[in-house]
C-alpha cells in the first residue's frame, strides 16, 4: 500500500469525523437549550432518565456530547449520581441510531447523487443572518460531509482490495486459528482505536466498511464493536478528571456499565450473534450480503445495549455504592447539589414554592459559611493552607452563581403555573432574594481577593488596622447571622429591625474608619497601598451589609427606614 493511498484513507476518515462533529454541533445549537433543559428536568426517576438519555443522544447524534453534558451537570449539582447513571444508560441506546443511519444511507442508498445538491442547499443557509437557519445549514453541511467521507472511505478501501491482499488474508486467517482469543484481540483493537480517535461512530464506520467489503467476518466485526463500547467511556472519564467526586463517579459508572455488558455478552457470544444474524436474515431475506452484514452489526449494537440496560436498570443503587466506594471525595472538596429542588416541579406550583423556599434558606446558610472562610483566610499564614482556602472560596463563589441561576430558573418555571396573586408576589420577592444572596457571595469573593493581594505583598496590616477589621467583620457576621435567622423564620418571630440597626452600625463605623484612614496615611502610620487594601475590606463589608438588608426587605416585605 503506497503512502498516497494511506493518506487518502486518513483524509477520508478525517472528512467523516469532521462531518459528524459539524453535524452534532449544529444539532446542539438548534436544540441545545431545550435539550439541556430536558436533561436537567426530565430525570425524576431511573426510567425518565433512561428515556431522556436516549432521546438527547439520538437528537444530537453524539453519546460523547450527552455523557460530557451529564458529567458537567453532576459537577454543577443539577443531577444526582443515580440520575446521571440512568441518563448514561440511555445515551448508550441513543448512540446506536448513528450506526443505523450509516447502514441505511451509506450502504443501502447511493448518496453520491444527493451529497453535492445538499452542499448547494447548505451554503446559502450558512451565510444567513438568522442563527437557526445558519445552524440548520451547518447540520446539512455536516451530514453531507459525513457521507462524503463514508463514501470515499468505502471507495478507497475497495481500491486497496484488502479482501484479496495476501498479508491481510494471512493475518485474519492466523487470528481465526486462535479461536476465542481472536475475539478478545479484536475487542482490544476496537477499544484502543476508539480511545485514540475519541469517536466510536468513526470506528463503527470503519467496521461497517471492513465487514461489507469481506475483509472481516461478522464475529470479528462485532468484537470491534464491543471494543468501541469500552473505548468510548474514556471520553467521559477524561472530561471528569478536573471535576468533583460525583462527576468522576458518573464517568466511572459509564465504564462499569459498558464493561459489564461486554463481559456477559462474551459468555454467550456466538449464540447471541447467531440470534441477531438470523433475525436480520428473516427481516431482510432479499438483501445483498454486503448490506445485510451492516444491518447485523447495527442490530447487534442496538440489541446489546438494550439488553444491558434491561439488566442493569434495576441495579443503579448498587452501581452507585460501588463507584462511591472506589472514588472518595477529597478532604476539602465541596460539592454543590440542589437539595430540595430535584428534577422538575412538584404536582402543584404552590408546593414547588415551598421547595424553593427551603433551597433559598440553604443558599443563605452557604453564604454565611463562605464569609466564615474569608475571616479564616485573613489569619492564615501558611502559604499552602492559604492557597487551599482561597481555592475553596473560589469554588463557593461558583456554587453561589449556580444556585442563583438554578433557583431563579425553577421559580420562573413555577411562575408559569396557576398561582394565586399572593404566590406571585412571593416568587417576585424570592427572585430578588436569590439575586442579593449571589451578590453576597460575590462580595465574599472580592474580600478574599483583597486579602490575597495583601498576602502576596511584603507588608501587613498594623495591629490597629486588624482591630478595626475584626470589629467590622464581626458586625457583618452579626448581620448575616440575623439574615439566616429571618430566612428560616416561618412564624415571623424574628424582628427584622435588628438587621436594619446592624446595617446602620456598619455604615457609621465605615464612615468613621474612612476619615481615620486619611489621617493615619498622612501621619505615615502605614503606607498608601496598605491603606487601599484596608479600606477595600471595610468598604466591601459595608456593601455586603447593604445586600443583607436587601435580602431582609425581600423576605419580610418591610422596608428599612432611612435615617
Q: Which three cell numbers stand for residue 237?
A: 472519564
pLDDT of residue 548: 92
Residue 119 lies in a domain: yes
Are residues 393 and 488 both part of a single domain?
yes
Are residues 17 and 159 both part of a single domain?
yes
The DSSP string of 61-130 is T-HHHHHHHHHHHHHHTSS-HHHHHHHHHHHHHHTHHHHHHHHIIIIIS-THHHHHHHHHHHHHHHT-SS
Is-contact 183 227, C-beta < 8 A? no
Residue 344 lies in a domain: no
Average pLDDT (13-34) is: 69
Is this model's pTM higher than 0.85 or not?
no
Are residues 255 and 367 both part of a single domain?
no
Q: Which of residues 293, 326, 359 is at a domain's end?
A: 326
Are residues 76 and 181 both part of a single domain?
yes
Are residues 124 and 213 both part of a single domain?
yes
Residue 181 lies in a domain: yes
Neighbouring residues of 157: CB distance < 8 A, sequence distance ≥ 6: 9, 209, 210, 213, 215
Are residues 242 and 275 both part of a single domain?
yes
Query: What is the C-alpha to C-alpha distance for residues 53 and 153, in angstroms, rounded to an integer?
Result: 31
Residue 63 lies in a domain: yes
CATH number of the domain encompassing residue 423 = 1.20.58.220
pLDDT tens digits, one per residue of 406-465: 888 888 878 876 676 777 888 899 999 999 999 999 999 999 999 998 888 877 888 889
pLDDT of residue 350: 63
Are residues 270 and 314 both part of a single domain?
yes
Are residues 161 and 205 both part of a single domain?
yes
Are residues 272 and 399 both part of a single domain?
no
pLDDT tens digits, one per residue of 3-14: 776 777 778 777
Are residues 484 and 431 both part of a single domain?
yes
pLDDT tens digits, one per residue of 270-324: 899 889 888 888 887 766 777 788 888 889 989 999 999 999 889 888 988 898 8
Domain of residue 416, residue span = 349-556
Q: Count the domains in the chain.
A: 2
Are residues 306 and 401 both part of a single domain?
no
Residue 94 lies in a domain: yes
Measured CA distances, 2 to 14, 273, 480, 542 (Å): 19, 36, 74, 74
Are residues 125 and 68 both part of a single domain?
yes
> What's 328's DSSP letter?
P
Residue 563 lies in a domain: no
Residue 332 lies in a domain: no
Q: Which of residues 291, 326, 361 is at a domain's end?
A: 326
> What's 376's DSSP letter?
H
Amino acid at each position: 500500500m503506497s503512502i498516497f493511498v494511506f493518506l487518502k484513507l486518513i483524509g477520508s476518515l478525517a472528512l467523516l469525523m469532521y462531518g459528524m462533529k459539524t453535524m452534532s454541533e449544529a444539532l446542539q445549537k438548534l436544540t441545545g437549550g431545550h435539550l439541556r433543559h430536558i436533561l436537567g428536568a426530565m430525570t425524576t426517576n431511573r426510567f425518565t432518565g433512561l428515556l431522556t438519555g436516549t432521546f438527547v443522544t439520538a437528537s444530537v447524534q453524539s453519546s460523547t456530547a450527552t455523557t460530557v453534558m451529564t458529567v458537567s451537570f453532576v459537577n454543577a449539582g443539577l443531577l444526582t449520581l443515580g440520575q446521571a447513571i440512568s441518563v448514561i444508560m440511555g445515551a448508550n441506546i441513543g448512540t446506536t441510531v448513528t450506526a443505523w443511519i450509516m447502514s441505511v444511507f451509506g450502504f443501502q442508498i447511493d448518496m453520491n447523487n444527493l451529497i453535492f445538491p445538499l452542499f448547494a442547499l447548505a451554503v446559502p443557509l450558512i451565510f444567513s443572518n438568522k442563527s437557526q437557519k445558519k445552524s440548520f445549514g451547518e447540520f446539512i453541511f455536516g451530514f453531507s460531509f459525513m457521507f462524503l467521507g463514508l463514501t470515499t472511505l468505502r471507495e478507497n478501501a475497495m481500491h486497496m482490495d484488502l479482501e484479496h491482499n495476501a498479508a491481510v488474508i494471512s493475518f485474519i486467517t492466523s487470528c481465526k486459528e486462535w479461536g476465542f482469543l481472536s475475539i478478545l484481540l479484536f475487542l482490544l483493537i476496537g477499544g484502543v482505536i476508539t480511545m485514540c480517535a475519541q469517536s466510536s461512530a468513526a470506528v463503527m464506520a470503519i467496521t461497517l466498511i471492513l465487514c461489507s467489503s469481506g475483509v472481516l467476518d461478522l464475529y470479528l466485526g462485532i468484537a470491534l464493536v464491543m471494543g468501541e463500547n469500552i473505548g468510548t467511556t474514556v471520553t467521559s472519564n477524561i472530561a471528569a478528571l478536573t471535576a468533583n467526586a460525583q462527576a468522576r463517579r458518573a464517568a466511572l459508572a459509564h465504564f462499569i456499565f459498558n464493561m459489564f455488558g461486554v463481559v456477559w455478552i462474551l459468555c454467550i457470544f456466538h449464540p447471541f450473534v447467531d440470534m441477531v444474524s438470523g433475525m436480520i436474515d428473516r427481516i431482510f431475506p432479499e438483501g445483498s450480503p454486503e448490506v445485510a452484514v451492516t444491518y447485523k452489526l447495527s442490530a447487534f449494537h442496538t440489541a446489546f445495549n438494550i439488553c444491558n440496560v434491561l439488566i442493569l436498570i434495576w441495579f443503579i443503587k448498587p452501581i452507585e455504592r460501588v463507584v462511591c466506594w472506589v472514588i472518595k471525595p477529597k478532604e476539602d472538596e465541596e460539592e454543590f447539589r440542589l437539595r430540595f429542588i430535584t428534577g422538575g416541579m412538584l404536582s402543584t406550583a404552590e408546593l414547588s414554592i415551598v421547595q424553593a423556599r427551603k433551597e433559598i434558606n440553604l443558599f443563605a446558610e452557604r453564604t454565611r459559611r463562605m464569609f466564615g472562610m474569608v475571616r479564616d483566610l485573613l489569619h492564615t499564614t501558611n502559604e499552602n493552607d492559604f492557597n487551599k482556602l482561597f481555592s475553596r472560596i473560589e469554588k463557593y463563589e461558583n456554587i453561589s452563581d449556580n444556585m442563583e441561576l438554578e433557583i431563579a430558573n425553577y421559580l420562573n418555571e413555577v411562575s408559569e403555573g396557576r398561582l394565586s396573586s399572593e404566590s406571585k408576589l412571593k416568587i417576585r420577592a424570592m427572585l430578588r432574594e436569590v439575586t442579593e444572596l449571589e451578590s453576597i457571595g460575590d462580595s465574599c469573593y472580592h474580600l478574599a481577593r483583597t486579602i490575597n493581594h495583601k498576602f502576596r505583598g511584603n507588608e501587613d496590616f498594623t495591629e490597629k488596622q486588624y482591630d478595626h477589621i475584626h470589629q467590622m467583620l464581626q458586625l457583618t457576621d452579626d448581620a448575616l447571622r440575623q439574615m439566616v435567622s429571618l430566612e428560616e423564620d416561618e412564624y415571623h418571630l424574628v424582628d427584622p429591625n435588628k438587621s436594619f440597626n446592624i446595617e446602620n452600625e456598619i455604615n457609621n463605623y465605615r464612615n468613621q474608619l474612612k476619615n481615620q484612614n486619611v489621617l493615619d496615611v498622612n501621619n505615615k502610620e502605614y503606607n498608601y497601598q496598605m491603606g487601599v487594601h484596608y479600606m477595600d475590606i471595610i468598604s466591601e463589608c459595608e456593601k455586603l451589609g447593604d445586600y443583607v438588608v436587601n435580602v431582609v426587605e425581600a423576605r419580610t416585605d418591610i422596608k428599612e427606614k432611612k435615617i
